[in-house]
Amino acid sequence: MKTILFQCLTIYNRRGEPSVIDFATGSTGSLTVIYGPSDTGKTWALKCIGIALGRTWDNTLPDSYVSVKLKMRVGDAKVIIRRQRSDNNLEISKNGSPFEQIPISKSKEELNSKLSEIMDFNFDRDLIKNTRNERSKFSWLSLVDLFTYTSDIDSEDSILKGKQSYISTLTRLNYLFNGDVFDKYIDKKESDRSKSVYDYLNQRIKTLQIMLSNLDSEDGQNLENISDLLSHEDNLLAEIQKLNEQLDGVRNEIRTKDIEKNTVSMDIDKYRILRNQYNSKAQRMNFIADAIANERNSAHLCPICHSNMKIDLNTPELSSVIKEYQNNVNRSEELNVLLSSLENRYLDICRDYSNLKNLEGDLEFNIKQHKTDYAEVSALIKGVCDGAETRAKGIRAKLELESLQSQLSKNPEIKYEAFESKCINQLFKELVENELSDSLKKCFGYSDIKLDNQWNPILDNKAKSTHGSGYRGLINSLTLLAIAVVLKRNGSFPGFIIIDSPLTAFSENNNKSCIALRFLEYLKNCSKEIQIIIAENNENIANELETKYNDNTIFFTKSNNGRYGLLNDYSLGP
């Protein structure tokens, strides 16, 4: 499945005036917060994304919403989807091609097929959707529903229920995490499906054993060897970072020495000029003294300025001239000593500079060598595992093998329907638990987080239902986010989640406000992996959004000062 990245949503009113929402897609994260008071169209903006993706046109939307246009990237492709309220059809353009119209029939089969093709979504399968073992397709629209929550985010029920049944949602998520588990049995008749899955379990065990054996034999290493290689890779990376830090320090010292060298050089030049000036003065005083002592009232050509000057023997006194001469000589000698010291210092600086340049060269060589080693180890890891995805697949296969062997030994007559509805990959649940535990500890400070059989979080031995709606909304949001992050890293994921008002109830006091801000920071970090779009009207976070998350936030208002609501960019008044 290709990753989807929403770029721009445009909504048009009856007069053809556009209201544009540009989503955050920067390298530092793809978090977009649509913020403003109630009844400014935030939820409608979220619903318009779903409408552009093929969901039913929501009748709660005002009549003034006449068309929507969604620009996005699907992998490397540029895709534009347009939809008119009047004809209820979709128009799609890919990489600048002419728009193709897709009728939205009641069954939406053509729509699902076309969107699945564009989005590279290949899960159009019959899946169990309820306890009566009825089946439905895993369509494009059901995928969109999994990660779009524009209502009931504070529900007491499991986040997996939503608009679909619990079993339906859980089965779909299992396919996204590990889509090949039940393929072999999907098209069997009901009578065959109701038989014992003893043969299936054995066949699956053999398949997993072969998979793990191939990983060992093809690359000459097992999962333990890979762990050693990964550890060595991490050590090399840490050493490269350490050497780079040392190199930065040496280069800073080189820059300092270079500045110091230039400063001392300038001082040497300055003091040489000053010394020469004192020498010239001393020579002139010596000339005057000679004139006073040897020739009276005679004219001489000054050897300093080369001009004729008349020397009056009565002024100045010879002793005064001699004294000034001696002062200039002494000052010149002092400057000679200072210059000698500066020249020695200059030589020392040049020696240190040369040593630092040599050290810089050694560090650059070591870094280059470590990078070469790192590349070789990375290539070896890739060769052994065919990348991180295969490593994860091997680990999942190993854990699934142990799980299936355990189930088979305990109950060889387990029925297929019961097996399919319950056998969600345990690794998937464990990974979601770990991710959720990390987020809830950061936001709430909980120390013990588990998921029950309905995937409802149990926080420090307290069920989610014991909390108020505000906390439930945040917990459900974090659960959805944990599922998304795990699927992004280990399975198939469309690339986005959409949540309406996860923080509405967190506006009463400073303590709750802190939780809301920690939640925002966690969203920002996660948005480096997945695109997150939320609508919010919590007043306590307004200042934080304006200062720290301004580039991620679209502000709506009910006054003329700012953007007046979603569609009313050209409002005449509040």
Residue 222, judged by CB atoms within 10 A of its CB (0-12, 13-18, 19+), counts as middle
Integer Cα distance of 179 and 140 in angstroms:
15
Please state, in angstroms and as integers, the Cα–Cα distance from residue 527 to each residue in 27, 31, 36, 492, following that order: 10, 5, 21, 17
Is 518's pLDDT higher than 90? Answer: no
Can you read off the two tokens belonging to residue 231? 């550890």
Q: How high is the pLDDT of residue 534?
A: 94
Residue-range domain boundaries for the chain: 1-121+532-574, 223-388
Q: How high is the pLDDT of residue 317?
A: 57
Nearest to 367, CA basis, from 234, 240, 247 = 240
Q: How high is the pLDDT of residue 80?
A: 95
Is 321's pLDDT higher than 50? Answer: yes
DSSP 128-164: E-STT--EEE--HHHHHHHTEESS-TT-SS-TTTTTS
Q: How high is the pLDDT of residue 81?
A: 95
User: Predicted confidence band at 415 (pLDDT cuts at 50, 70, 90)?
Assistant: low
Is 146's pLDDT higher than 80? Answer: yes
User: Predicted confidence band at 48 (pLDDT cuts at 50, 70, 90)?
Assistant: very high
Q: How high is the pLDDT of residue 124?
A: 60
User: Predicted confidence band at 392 (pLDDT cuts at 50, 70, 90)?
Assistant: low
Would residue 19 be called left, alpha or beta, if left means φ above 0 and alpha means ψ between -120 and 50 degrees? beta
Integer Cα distance of 159 and 145 in angstroms:
12
Is 218's pLDDT higher than 90? Answer: no
Q: Are 266 and 345 in contact (CB under 8 A)?
A: no
pLDDT tens digits for 466-484?
888 888 888 889 999 999 9
**Helical (H) or strand (E) element with 566:** none
Q: Are 408 and 202 in contact (CB under 8 A)?
A: yes
Hey, what amino acid is at 560? N
The fold for domain 1-121+532-574 equals: Rossmann fold (3.40.50)
User: Predicted confidence band at 391 (pLDDT cuts at 50, 70, 90)?
Assistant: low
Place of tokens 């065959």: 192
Which DSSP symbol is given to 528?
T
Place of tokens 């300092």: 256
Is 18's pLDDT higher than 80? Answer: yes
Find the range with the poorest average confidence among 121-130, 184-193, 229-238. Answer: 184-193
Nearest to 404, CA basis, from 259, 199, 566 = 199
241 or 93, greater pLDDT:
93
Task: Give the mean pLDDT of 304-318.
Answer: 48
Cα dihedral sign for 534, 537, 542, 544? Answer: negative
Q: Are 23 and 533 in contact (CB under 8 A)?
A: yes
Q: Supply the pTM of this predicted model.
A: 0.61
User: Predicted confidence band at 33 (pLDDT cuts at 50, 70, 90)?
Assistant: very high
Contacts for 95 with CB less than 8 Å, ≥ 6 apart: 77, 78
Can you read off the two tokens belonging to residue 406? 């355990």
Find the range with the poorest average confidence among 110-119, 122-131, 230-239, 528-537. Answer: 122-131
Which DSSP symbol is given to 23?
P
Q: How high is the pLDDT of residue 221?
A: 45
User: Predicted confidence band at 389 (pLDDT cuts at 50, 70, 90)?
Assistant: low
Task: Give the mean pLDDT of 396-409.
Answer: 70
Task: Give the mean pLDDT of 121-141.
Answer: 68
Total residue length of the chain? 574
pLDDT tens digits for 270-296?
888 888 888 888 787 777 766 666 654
Find the range with the poorest average confidence among 100-109, 232-241, 304-313. Answer: 304-313
Q: How high is the pLDDT of residue 8?
A: 95
Please state, in angstroms and as integers, the Cα–Cα distance from residue 322 to each residue in 87, 311, 332, 434, following that order: 111, 15, 15, 92
Q: How high is the pLDDT of residue 480?
A: 92
Q: How high is the pLDDT of residue 181?
A: 45
Q: How high is the pLDDT of residue 429?
A: 82
Find the range with the poorest average confidence among 89-98, 130-139, 148-157, 432-441. Answer: 130-139
Is 408's pLDDT higher than 90? Answer: no
Q: How high is the pLDDT of residue 395?
A: 67
pLDDT tens digits for 331-388?
888 888 888 888 898 899 899 989 988 898 888 888 888 888 888 887 776 665 555 5
9 or 221, greater pLDDT:
9
- Burial code (b: 16+ CB inside 10 Å, e: under 16) for 362-396 equals ebeeebeebeeebeebeebbeebbeeeebbbbbbb
Mean pLDDT for the chain? 77
Find the range with the poorest average confidence among 106-115, 157-166, 426-435, 507-516. Answer: 507-516
Secondary structure of 30-86 as H, E, C letters: CEEEEECCCCCCHHHHHHHHHHHCCCCCCCCCCCCCCEEEEEEEECCEEEEEEEECC
Cα dihedral sign for 230, 232, 235, 241? Answer: negative
Is 442's pLDDT higher than 60? Answer: yes
Q: How high is the pLDDT of residue 158?
A: 80
220 or 382, greater pLDDT:
382
